[in-house]
Structure 1
Amino acid sequence: MKRLWPLIALGVGAFILFAVTTLPAGVVFSWLGSSGVSAGGVSGTIWNGRAQVLQIQGVNIGGVEWDLHALALLTGRLSADVKVTRIDGFATTQVSATPAGTIRLKDLTASLPLSALPPNVIPGGWAGTLNGKFAQLTLEKGWPTQVDGTLDIVDLTGPARKPANAGSYRLVLDPAASNAEVLKGAISDGGDGPLQVAGTLELRPDRSYKLDALISARPNAPRNLVQALEFLGPPDAQGRRQFATEGSL
């Protein structure tokens, strides 16, 4: 009997390995239902599969495909190549997560409408497209702590009562300009809208932010927009007015 135990252990181990590697993805999503995660049109396994529709806390993510990296599990991390497809956008990245809640996105490329963001991120009545390209994006409990990349807002239009096209804008986050205490980004306009904008954005680990910018109206700017800028105070010698705001999320 003692000679049989190694064979029994090997057989049990092989069975467990087979069960895990072939575990249907649909079974996993059924376990996640109580966490606010739901999916439809699920196929494949936990290691490699897809869901035609994925929702998290009521937010529609879109169709999702994943390829899980088994070796990362040996270091206590969950890592996968992920592709999100939507009628109005897409996203591709390599994502890894730790039990402590740290999420790292590598080689992230995405194009999504503003409406795809949670309601508390963008005020209602604004529309546009977000185009992002990041070599690295690290989130600690949902808040960015390390960022290397560029985010463009294209064809920003709003607000709801009197919608008007406000042009396009770019945020560049360079690790060389940031440190452990604050993330710093440079803001500029795309040159196609009614406003000239140049400024900085600061993000701190305590989930606070600070936006400081110089804004001026181009000659073709609507009159109501020019009048609205007057509330920012007197212009400088170049006709720019300072806009500053800070708070926390």
Structure 2
Amino acid sequence: MKIFVKVLIAVLLYLAFLVALLPARVVVALAPLPNGVALAGVSGTLWQGSADTLVADGRQIEQLQWQLSPWQLLTATVKMDLTFGSRASAVSGKGQLRYSPSGVKLENVKFDAPVSFLVGRKQLPFQTKASGDISLFVQQFDQGEPWCEQLTGKAFLNNIGITNRFGQYPLGDIELAMQCVNGQIQLATDDEKNKLGIAGTLLLQDGMKYQLNGRMKVTADQPADLQKALPMLGKADANGFYPLTFNGRF
């Protein structure tokens, strides 16, 4: 009986070390990755590893590193700390991800990328080309229906420029507050958070639908093409604001 117990303990210890030292490249090789997703240069273990590149839907990030907490798995929760990119990279970020039967949670997320990275290969309306950079700071995000249960964060659009068949629009910098409203993701700004005279909200709804409700007035910092185009939005109110209302689908 004593020999059996010793053998059992030895086997359990062996399995524990085997799992603890499980190479990440073996997991990636065996795991069925989604279509359009590829990892290259994988090293380290399942619990603490890295990859040189991650490609998803034609978008690429570099210097991906992760730390996975094995103890959280005992509570049916995946807890992972992620970092990718660097100060010299076009795309960089970090944050903590939790996944459990209740859904996805994000904490202390920071993400920086050029607009072209987010647009990807998608064709924008009116032959539009967008430039500039986007910075996201998410203190907390809890998944819900259709999108969220809780969201606290900010988005900064830096040196944004739009060019299409109607003209050139150097929009500059715009600050947006992010929150969850009835399960929908809302981005909000006012004319004190940008030089374009824009105030309003953008709601991301179920089925990738969006609803923009806002207003816009003429300011000295607006490009000439934009000032000329404002009357196309409708009649200005008593305070000089033109209606800014759109509905569509991403």
Shared fold, TM over 0.5: yes
Q: Deviations over 1:189-218 (max 9, x none)?
A: 57664x211102233455443211111121
Does the 8 Å CA contact 1:169/1:190 hold for their aligned counterparts?
no
* 1:92 pairs with one of 84, 91, 94: 94
The answer to whether 1:210 aligns with 2:211 is yes
Query: Secondary structure, in 3 states, of the residue corresponding to 1:35?
Result: coil
Change (3 A) 1:110 1:219: same
2:9 maps to which residue? Answer: 10
Deviation at 1:130, TM superposition (A): 0.9
Runs of 5+ unmatched residues, structure 1: none
Deviation at 1:29, TM superposition (A): 1.8
Q: Deviations over 1:67-126 (max 9, x none)?
A: 1111111111111111011521321101112367x3211011122111222537783511
The answer to whether 1:150 aligns with 2:154 is yes
Q: Deviations over 1:129-165 (max 9, x none)?
A: 1111111123459944431011111111122554431
Query: Secondary structure, in 3 states, of the residue corresponding to 1:126?
Result: strand
The amino acid across from 1:43 in the alignment is S
2:176 maps to which residue? Answer: 171
Change (3 A) 1:52 1:147: same
Does the 8 Å CA contact 1:170/1:190 hold for their aligned counterparts?
no
- Distance in 2 (CA, whole Å) between partners of 1:122 and 1:71 is 44
Query: Secondary structure, in 3 states, of the residue corresponding to 1:6?
Result: helix
2:80 maps to which residue? Answer: 80
The answer to whether 1:112 aligns with 2:116 is no
The answer to whether 1:244 aligns with 2:249 is no
- Distance in 2 (CA, whole Å) between partners of 1:182 and 1:166 is 26
- Distance in 1 (CA, whole Å) between partners of 2:74 and 2:113 is 34
The answer to whether 1:67 aligns with 2:71 is no
State, as a whole percentage, how many aligned pairs show the same letter.
25
- Distance in 1 (CA, whole Å) between partners of 2:116 and 2:145 is 22
Aligned-residue CA RMSD (Å): 2.7
Change (3 A) 1:239 1:196: same
Deviation at 1:30, TM superposition (A): 1.7
The amino acid across from 1:83 in the alignment is T
- Distance in 2 (CA, whole Å) between partners of 1:207 and 1:127 is 23
The amino acid across from 2:94 in the alignment is T
Change (3 A) 1:172 1:232: same
Following TM superposition, where does structure 1 have runs of at least 4 consecutive aligned residues deviating by more than 6 angstroms? none
2:137 maps to which residue? Answer: 133
Give the TM-score taking structure 1 as reference length.
0.84
Runs of 5+ unmatched residues, structure 2: none
Give the TM-score taking structure 2 as reference length.
0.84
- Distance in 1 (CA, whole Å) between partners of 2:21 and 2:82 is 19
1:38 maps to which residue? Answer: 38
The amino acid across from 1:35 in the alignment is P
